[in-house]
Amino acid sequence: MKLSIVILNWNGKLLLKKFLPNIILYTPNTPIYVVDNGSEDDSIVFLKKEYKKINIIKLSKNTGYAKAYNYALKMIDSDVYCLINNDVMVTKNWTSPIMSYFKNKKVDIAQPLVLDFKNKNKFEYAGAAGGFIDKFGYPFCRGRIFNNIENNIGQYDNSINIFWASGACMFIDKKCWKSLEGFDEDFFMHQEEIDFCWRAKNLNKNIMCISNSKVYHIGSGSNLSSDDKIYFNHRNSLLTLVKNVEKKNLPIVLLVRSVFELIAIFFYLFKGKISKSFMIIKGYFKFIFLFTKFYRKRDNNFPVKYYRRISIILDSYIFGKNKFSEF
């Protein structure tokens, strides 16, 4: 099977300079594409000068994670795509274990173990050892519950089925990608991989974390502000529920989730983080504004139970369970 590596870049010359050599070294004879999302630094000049064999797909402006990949993958002929952030360091033979699953048709979407580049003994927030969500749409991972991140001591070295794979390093079968018509571009960025994987699960696609492969992720490589991340994460998480929760359960799920949103607003106010409270409010009003548009996107085909836990907020803050192994 043919694999293509597709790196999304936005003003990331320094990150490309740091991490691209490892991808080239440890993935020989594999086509590599850099999708430049309207960078204003000299990323393109750098690539053309230093890496003439790298394929460049240039967009005129920053269209966000979802739209940029949707545009780029239409231009790439491959059996499997590896979508990878520009702030990820790969390791020797990182693609081989994952590609063996694709070759044997055991998986449609996959991720490696995602570890912290700055503290290599820890899992990294964005994906860790595979993602799940609770009934009210809050994501968590093997190795990460909210901001509680575990040390990697081999406790998740088994490859398992997961609910969502990390957008920091995600392998996708081309047929699966086409059947889902790519990411939902209205997300712009954040949570689009969860919506994508949820829709894949609804079509009985198999999603796995392949533990024999590992990468190291810096996180926050895009320099997006923490306030903006809160806005997109809260807004898009709510919209994901609108698209994918079974109709009869949607009202109660959104009602409870709205209570949690209100609690989060007051939590940040109590901490004196007024801007973060404002971003949650802003995200909630945008969710209301977009509700009808996203409701119309529903396919009303919900064959799988999507949640592993009822509420990780209760698990973590009430019962003190902050490790996946405690569930």
Condensed to tens digits (0 to 9), the pLDDT of residues 20-51 reads 999 999 999 999 999 999 999 999 999 999 99
The tokens for 89 are 């360091």
Mean pLDDT of the chain: 94
pTM of the model: 0.94
CATH number of 3-217: 3.90.550.10
The tokens for 78 are 């491959």
Q: Which of 205, 191, 189 is nearest to 107 (CA)?
A: 205
Question: Which helix or strand (DSSP H or E) is residue 212 part of?
Answer: strand 207-217
pLDDT band at residue 241, thresholds of 50, 70 and 90?
very high
Cβ atoms of 238 and 259 within 8 Å: the answer is no
pLDDT of 181 strictly over 80: yes
Ramachandran region, residue 182 (left: φ > 0; alpha: ψ -120 to 50; beta: rest): left
Cβ atoms of 148 and 175 within 8 Å: the answer is no
Q: What is the pLDDT of residue 219?
A: 77
Q: How far is CA 29 from CA 2, 49, 102, 258, in A?
A: 10, 20, 18, 49
d(CA 51, CA 141): 35
d(CA 71, CA 162): 27
* CA dihedral of residues 19, 164, 93, 57 (deg, nearest 10): -50
Q: What is the pLDDT of residue 220?
A: 60
Q: What is the pLDDT of residue 299?
A: 82
Write the single-letter amino acid at 98.
I
pLDDT of 267 strictly over 80: yes
Q: To which residue do tokens 């085909």 refer?
A: 301
Q: What is the pLDDT of residue 303?
A: 63
Condensed to tens digits (0 to 9), the pLDDT of residues 93-140 reads 999 999 999 999 999 999 999 999 999 999 999 999 999 999 999 999
Q: Which of 222, 218, 228, 320 is nearest to 275 (CA)?
A: 228
Domain ranges of the chain: 3-217, 226-300
Helix pair angle (226-244, 250-270), 10° resolution:
170
Distance of alpha carbon 234 from the chain centroid: 14
pLDDT of 169 strictly over 70: yes
Q: What is the pLDDT of residue 208?
A: 98
